[in-house]
């Protein structure tokens, strides 16, 4: 490795011990340590017999606990740039030291049930490894196709689960600067049913609007649609929706156009289209839960058939 155009060879000698002051590691010791750890030979994964054949090299110590060189393998994956590798390993060593210091302090001040700690460590290890395999199994086996019939059936069986929390509308909303051209034509285009007028309106919005929504057949929350406009300050939005199917207003800089084709008031049942994606996600999550349960059951039953485990009576 080359630092400041001077080549440094990593020799097999004892690492400089990191001294711990009240707040931070010795900077010189840390730099020396990181440089030694990241020789090209070190980042290669060692065979188990090679690690066991030579004394493990400590890179940090807290009390009687040591962090060894081989425990840092994989902290900085192969291919990560040199500076990033150094930063990752430095951060890991610093984090390890801090945690060890807290553990030591805890051991001095409270009674620790070592067996309980070991049980929690085992549970946590299972959670990590089991979670990774569970996700792999689900990815391999999940059927992520959900038919409209399934969605509709789920919706009809659970209507009370889909009560609106917000007012929603179908319609057109356009916000354009006052300086935009042909603003007086916008309303006519909004009401036109002709395909060419709809295309003209869309083109106009793309060219001149600051915000727009033209999803005539899609539902959208009214408050979300009119956020950051004078319409958001309307005190009684339910009465407003019942009173207007078209509304136009301005502020200092913009003109706001709103055409309401239909609406639904909060505390009523949501239209199916509004909750369709939500229902699909619910169905897929249920499938994932079932697959996770099936995985555990299958692993257990297969292991029982092979007599891979035993339970001894007391």
The Cα 56–Cα 65 span in angstroms is 13
Q: pLDDT (tens digit, 9 = 90+) per residue, 6-58?
A: 433 333 333 333 333 333 444 334 434 444 444 444 444 444 444 453 578 99
12: which 2 tokens? 């097999």
**Mean pLDDT of the region 119-128:** 92
Q: pLDDT tier at 80 (50, 70, 90 boundaries)? A: low
- 137: nearest Cα among 293, 313, 300: 293
Find tokens 């555990």 and name the residue: 296
The Cα 227–Cα 112 span in angstroms is 54
In the chain, the DSSP E strands lie at: 2-3, 6-7, 58-62, 65-68, 168-177, 211-213, 220-221, 246-250, 254-264
Q: pLDDT (tens digit, 9 = 90+) per residue, 136-178?
A: 999 999 999 999 999 999 999 999 999 999 999 999 999 999 9
DSSP letter for 44, please: S
Model pLDDT, residue 206: 96
The Cα 235–Cα 218 span in angstroms is 25
Mean pLDDT of the chain: 84
Contacts of 221 (CB under 8 A, 6+ apart): 166, 167, 168
The Cα 2–Cα 6 span in angstroms is 6
21: which 2 tokens? 């002051």
Determine how β-strand 58-62 pairs with β-strand 211-213.
unpaired
52: which 2 tokens? 């066991």
Higher pLDDT, 99 or 48: 99
227 three-class SS:
coil
10 three-class SS:
coil
Q: Any idea which of 45-54, 71-80, 156-165, 298-307 has the lowest mean pLDDT?
A: 45-54
| Dihedral angle, C-alpha 98, 104, 106, 107, nearest 10 ° | 160
pTM assigned to the model: 0.65
| Dihedral angle, C-alpha 244, 247, 251, 255, nearest 10 ° | 160
Find tokens 């940090």 and name the residue: 60
Model pLDDT, residue 111: 87
For residues 81-113, one letter each, b for 16 or more C-beta atoms within 10 angstroms of the residue's C-beta and e for the rest, the string is eeeebbebbbebbeebbeebeeeeeeeeeeeee
The Cα 73–Cα 93 span in angstroms is 12
Alpha carbons within 13 angstroms on the beta-carbon side of residue 200 total: 15
Q: Residue 20: phi, psi to the nearest 5? A: -105, 115
Other beta carbons less than 10 A from residue 33's beta carbon: 23
Model pLDDT, residue 9: 38
210: which 2 tokens? 């600051």
307: which 2 tokens? 């007599």
Residue 99 has pLDDT above 80, yes or no: yes
48: which 2 tokens? 């188990």
């Amino acid at each position: 490795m080359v630092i400041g155009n001077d080549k440094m060879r990593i020799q097999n000698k004892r690492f400089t011990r990191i001294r711990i002051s009240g707040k931070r590691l010795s900077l010189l010791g840390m730099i020396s340590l990181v440089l030694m750890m990241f020789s090209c030979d070190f980042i290669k994964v060692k065979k188990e017999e090679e690690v066991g054949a030579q004394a493990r090299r400590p890179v940090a110590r807290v009390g009687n606990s040591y962090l060894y060189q081989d425990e840092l393998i994989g902290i900085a994956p192969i291919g990560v740039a040199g500076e990033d590798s150094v930063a990752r390993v430095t951060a890991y060593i610093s984090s390890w030291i801090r945690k060890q210091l807290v553990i030591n302090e805890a051991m001095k001040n409270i009674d620790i049930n070592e067996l309980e700690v070991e049980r929690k460590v085992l549970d946590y290890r299972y959670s990590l490894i089991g979670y990774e395999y569970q996700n792999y199994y689900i990815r391999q086996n999940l059927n992520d196709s959900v038919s409209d019939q399934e969605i509709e059936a789920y919706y009809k069986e659970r209507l009370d689960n889909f009560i609106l929390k917000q007012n929603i509308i179908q319609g057109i909303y356009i916000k354009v600067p006052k300086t935009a051209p042909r603003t007086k034509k916008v309303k006519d285009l909004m009401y036109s049913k002709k395909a060419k007028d709809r295309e003209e309106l869309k083109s106009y919005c793309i060219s001149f609007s600051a915000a727009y929504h033209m999803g005539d057949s899609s539902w959208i929350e009214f408050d979300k649609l009119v956020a950051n406009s004078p319409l958001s300050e309307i005190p009684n939005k339910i009465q407003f929706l019942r009173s207007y199917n078209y509304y136009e207003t301005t502020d200092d800089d913009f003109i706001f156009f709103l055409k309401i084709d239909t609406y639904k008031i909060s505390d009523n049942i949501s239209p199916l289209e509004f909750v369709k994606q939500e229902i699909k996600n619910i169905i897929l999550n249920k499938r994932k839960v079932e697959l996770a349960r099936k995985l555990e059951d299958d692993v257990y039953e297969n292991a029982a058939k092979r007599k891979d485990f035993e339970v001894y009576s007391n």
